[in-house]
Amino acid sequence: MDLPFFLLLLVVVATLAWFVGAPMLRQRRRAARSRKALPQEWRDWLERDMTIYRRLPAELRERLHAVIRVFIDEKRFVGCNGLEVTDHMRVLVAAYAGLLVLNRPGVPDRQLYDDLYAILIYPGAFVVPESHHDETGLVTEGERVLSGQTWDSRRIILSWEDIELARDEDHNVVLHEFAHYLDMEDETMDGAPGLGSEEAYEAWSEIFWEEYERLQDDVDAGRPTLLDPYAATEPAEFFAVATESFFIHSRELAARHPGLYEQLRRYYRLDPASWEA
């Protein structure tokens, strides 16, 4: 065996070993981290600042604690515009993000926002550049003020001011942006996350488009809606806003939009409308 061929073979074997071994190593690390007890101070923060945490059944609380430990140990939190990220901030972000995947098979050892590297937190709303293309091809440069943005599968940007406002349980920027992340897991942000089967996609599509068009009609007619009118701007926003409502206004959503609630219940594998107030 000549040297170049041997070196090539060595590279191939090492690459295969990495692809096989890296996920197994990550799962072992996550399993060890998930067994660490959650500090009492962290539990106190959740009790005080996360209304939905107080409604969680005991079994789901313990599962959420494990997810929080892994998420905080693994993901990088970056303060922007001079913001110093505290453990309190990390815990709240990890808790809301963890809630969305709480009953996923394998979590937290796997399927825990595996591609996500960093969460960037600004003190308040932040400005991003925006280009608008009209029908004639004219490009207009401008800016948008945002409270959150899912930049790609590697980074999520949040406003701490808006996270704090989530204590009022009306809107929740963390649930919203992490729903966008889940929407992108099938490589397209189109309002349909990975559902696992053709039958599930068909059922989702039927209910989703019916509810989406109904909301658009209500917004155009000026009728009051349970879902924030922003959900009518595009399918991806409809899914993210519906996710917020699923956890925040669970019983109202189940009563007024039972088909939509049922699809979200199947996807998240949770039934928050049944949790005690």
pLDDT digits (tens, 9 = 90+) for 70-91: 999 999 999 999 999 999 999 9
DSSP-based three-state secondary structure for 253: helix
Q: Return d(Cα 25, Cα 18) in angstroms, integer.
A: 10
Token pair in block for residue 136: 């004639």
- 4-61 tens-digit pLDDT: 655 555 544 444 443 445 466 666 776 667 678 899 999 999 999 999 999 999 999 9
pLDDT of residue 29: 74
Judge whether residue 135 has pLDDT over 60.
no
Q: Return d(Cα 155, Cα 108) in angstroms, integer.
A: 19
Domains and CATH numbers, the chain: 26-167 (1.10.472.150), 190-277 (3.40.390.10)
User: Which burial class, exposed, middle or buried, applies to 50 when counting CB atoms under 10 A from its CB (0-12, 13-18, 19+)?
Assistant: buried
pLDDT of residue 241: 97
Q: Return d(Cα 125, Cα 50) in angstroms, integer.
A: 21
Q: Phi, psi at residue 95, to the nearest 5°?
A: -70, -45
- 184-237 tens-digit pLDDT: 998 889 999 999 899 999 999 999 999 999 999 999 999 999 999 999 999 999
Judge whether residue 270 has pLDDT over 90.
yes
Task: Tell how strand 118-122 and strand 76-79 pair up.
Answer: parallel
pLDDT grade for 124, boundaries at 50, 70 and 90: confident
Residue 136: how many CB atoms within 10 A of its CB?
Answer: 5
Sheet containing strand 118-122, strands side by side? 76-79, 118-122, 155-159, 148-150
pLDDT of residue 1: 55
